[in-house]
């Protein structure tokens, strides 16, 4: 597998600290990518997102392919372990009350992708000129959209647009959503926190992802776009360009 990866995070224009964390590591067999957006106040949110990224990546770095036995179960288990550790620390430390984090994780190899998601950090796929949001937000406004009470456009500007209904560490148990699919040469994946998607709509995201430049420069452009539109939250993005696949590998 041949991929190019760019990743970055930025505090934005309003917040005093950055509660986002990310992980991105890839070799010629597979890539492991995580974006986590902490909640519960600067100190606690930053701790929660860092714990999630550390625990999830540690579990998944041993995978060589999405076809490894039990790979999907391991993605889920990694999120459950992170949830348990964060919840127990929240109970043990009074200054960590209410902390939690979103987590979107992707394992990518020749034979496809596996995604685990909790919260409203997102994973997108740009393929053949079209941008598709693979994950589905665990949020109040998404529930309203699903019920037909809000349009997606209304949800973007709703005062409760940042209220999530599921996160890592808020309770002793949490359910993760698992997604899987094929990967093709030319695919571009984006993992990001809502500091990006809350500022930049999908149409503009697609325009930036199709740029004929490396993933690092695209990440810089995404962050600059979000900041240029207000930068109301921390902004994190990982961009993965798929350049080649080994038919018998992975």
- Quick one: tokens of 129? 């000129």
The answer to whether residues 118 and 139 touch, using CB atoms and an 8 Å cutoff, is no
Q: What is the pLDDT of residue 162?
A: 86
> Is residue 47, in this structure, part of any structural domain at all?
yes
Phi-psi region of 212 (alpha: psi -120 to 50; beta: other; left: phi over 0): beta
Alpha carbon 210 to its chain's center: 19
Give me the domain span that covers residue 130.
2-244
* pTM listed for this prediction: 0.96
Q: What is the pLDDT of residue 247?
A: 61
How many whole angstroms separate alpha carbon 129 and alpha carbon 207? 9
| Tens-digit pLDDT profile for residues 53-84 | 999 999 999 999 999 999 999 999 999 999 99
- CATH code assigned at 78: 3.60.40.10
Nearest CA among 56, 60, 178, 63 for reference residue 110? 63
> Is residue 240, in this structure, part of any structural domain at all?
yes
> Is residue 6, in this structure, part of any structural domain at all?
yes
Phi-psi region of 119 (alpha: psi -120 to 50; beta: other; left: phi over 0): left
Give me the residues of the chain with pLDDT under 70, please. Answer: 42, 247-250
> Is residue 249, in this structure, part of any structural domain at all?
no
Q: What is the pLDDT of residue 249?
A: 43
> Is residue 36, in this structure, part of any structural domain at all?
yes
> Is residue 92, in this structure, part of any structural domain at all?
yes
> Is residue 250, in this structure, part of any structural domain at all?
no
The count of domains in the chain is 1
> Is residue 170, in this structure, part of any structural domain at all?
yes
Q: What is the pLDDT of residue 248?
A: 45
């Amino acid at each position: 597998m041949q991929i190019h990866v760019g990743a970055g995070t930025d505090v934005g224009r309003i917040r005093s600290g950055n509660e986002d964390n990310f992980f991105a590591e890839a070799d010629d067999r597979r890539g492991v990518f995580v974006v986590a957006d902490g909640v519960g106040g600067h100190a606690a949110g930053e701790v929660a997102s860092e714990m999630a990224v550390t625990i999830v990546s540690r579990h998944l770095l041993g995978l060589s392919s999405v076809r490894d036995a039990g790979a999907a179960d391991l993605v889920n288990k990694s999120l459950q372990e992170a949830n348990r550790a964060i919840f127990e620390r929240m109970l043990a430390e009074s200054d960590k009350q209410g902390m939690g984090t979103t987590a979107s994780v992707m394992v990518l190899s020749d034979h496809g992708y596996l995604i685990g998601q909790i919260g409203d950090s997102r994973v997108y796929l740009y393929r053949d000129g079209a941008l598709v949001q693979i994950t589905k937000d665990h949020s109040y406004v998404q529930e309203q959209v699903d019920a037909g009470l809000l349009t997606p456009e209304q949800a973007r500007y709703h005062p409760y647009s940042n209220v999530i209904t599921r996160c890592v560490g808020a309770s002793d148990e949490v359910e993760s959503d698992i997604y899987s699919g094929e990967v093709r040469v030319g695919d571009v994946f984006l993992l990001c926190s809502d500091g990006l998607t809350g500022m930049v709509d999908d149409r503009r995201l697609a325009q930036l992802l199709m740029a004929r430049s490396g993933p690092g420069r695209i990440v810089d452009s995404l962050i600059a776009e979000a900041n240029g539109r207000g930068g109301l939250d921390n902004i994190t993005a990982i961009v993965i360009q798929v350049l080649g696949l080994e038919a018998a590998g992975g």
